[in-house]
Amino acid sequence: MFCQGCHTPDGTGGKSVPKIKNYIGYFLQNQIAREYLVRVPGSANSSLNDEQLAEVLNWMIIELGGESVPKNMQYYTANEVAKLRQHPLFEVVEYREMLVKKLSVK
């Protein structure tokens, strides 16, 4: 299923799933929000290996992020993903709401 199973192939999301199109790049504004993208269950529990997950996240950000992607984007690495996915999130909705309040969204 991977990311598009919930977020849809074009990144527009669904009823209870947030859109990532033109928005996902905002999660690169700070380290905690950046880590969130790896720690959500769909990423942390994915059958993709660390390198593959890093590549998919980088691709999603570039392809779907639009204006939300910072010009100085730091790409995810396999090492970073390996460390972060060891600590998956369980309270995803509450954690995301807290993060979104802290993001500078245009």
pLDDT tens-digit readout, 42-69: 899 999 999 999 999 999 999 999 999 9
Query: Containing domain of residue 25, as a range?
Result: 8-12+18-102
Q: Residue with structure tokens 């709401």?
A: 97
The answer to the question of residue 43 being in a domain is yes
Is residue 79 over pLDDT 90?
yes
Q: Within a domain: residue 31?
A: yes
Question: What is the structure's pLDDT at 35?
Answer: 96
Average pLDDT for the chain: 88
Q: Is residue 3 part of a domain?
A: no
Q: Is residue 2 part of a domain?
A: no
DSSP symbols for 2-65 = TTHHHH-TTS---SSS---TTTGGGGGSSHHHHHHHHHSHHHHT-SS-HHHHHHHHHHHHHHH-
Instruction: Specify the number of domains making up the chain.
Output: 1
